[in-house]
Amino acid sequence: MKQLLHAFAMCQSMFCALPCPWHIWDEEARDKMLLFLPVVGLEMGAIWAGLAYLARLIGLPALVTGLVLCACPFVLSGFIHLDGFLDVTDAVRSCRELQRRREILKDPHVGSFAVIGCILLMLAQFALFASAPDGADLRILFFIPAVSRCCSVLAVSALRPMHTSQYAARKKSKAQSCIIATSLCAAVAAGFLLCGKYGFTLLGCLLGYGLALCRGYRSLEGMNGDISGYALTVGELCAVAIFAFL
């Protein structure tokens, strides 16, 4: 139980900008850390949905609401997944040989492809939220971050990591993968049961994550945290697109 508590605190501190009262690092709990990533996603989803309801309650203009809801998931994650999106966009769009693409992936400098991709990403997410119908079921925002993070854990667990990845030394656990897969199914089912047709938003997240993951993994021939963040960002954008058009 102590290791699980440590794993949760480590996951909260690493993948979420919300204050964590425990500042701890337990190497023995490291392999269990990703088990709590969907829980962190639920925390973010609760705040995301809460802000959406608050904006509707006080009657914020559509453009202001779009800005707030667009920025919310990036701010809550401390921009860690957006950083992965930028790195992978630069590497994949460079169209260089594999070794050079991997060097670009680890380059701390921001390239032109990353800047262009980030601008288009922000504009798309802002426009989609600003144009969402007034009667949209905002409860679905609670589930989107959890679903995207379940996908991330499964991808990291199942795919071959790059030798430079922090996950290269991670011990794979079938039990953990089964727990995450069950959590993913439960989140999608709950989305359909509570939100009706807006449950398709979660399927859009799955599809977007899968396509982006395939693109990044095949181009860089390996899995790492940057590719996970890239796919998560694209998956959530696809979810928001379906949310806006339903």
Bridge partners, 161 (sequence order): 223
pLDDT of residue 168: 60
CA torsion sign for 136, 140, 145, 150 is negative
Model confidence at 170, in pLDDT bands (50, 70, 90)? low
pLDDT of residue 169: 64
Separation CA 83–CA 85 (nearest Å): 5
Q: What Rg, from alpha-carbon coordinates, does the chain have? A: 18
∠ CA 44-166-226, nearest 5°, is 55
> For residue 145, what are the CA distances in angstroms to 22, 111, 221?
23, 27, 26
One DSSP character per residue, 228-243 reads HHHHHHHHHHHHHHHH
pLDDT of residue 31: 81
Percent of the chain at pLDDT exceeding 90 = 74
pLDDT of residue 21: 75
Separation CA 199–CA 220 (nearest Å): 32
pLDDT of residue 174: 82
> For residue 162, what are the CA distances in angstroms to 91, 99, 108, 176, 226?
14, 12, 18, 21, 11
Q: What is the pLDDT of residues 8-36, one digit of tens each?
A: 888 888 899 988 777 777 777 788 889 99
Give me 14's structure tokens.
Answer: 């690493």
Coil vs helix vs strand at 223: strand
> For residue 48, what are the CA distances in angstroms to 74, 77, 89?
11, 12, 26
Tell me the pTM: 0.94
Provide the mean pLDDT of the chain. Answer: 92
CB 216 within 8 A of CB 88: yes
Task: Find the mean pLDDT for residues 163-187.
Answer: 83
- Please state, as a whole number, how many other Cβ atoms lie within 10 Å of the Cβ of residue 232: 30
Q: What is the pLDDT of residues 173-183, one digit of tens each?
A: 788 889 999 99
pLDDT of residue 29: 75
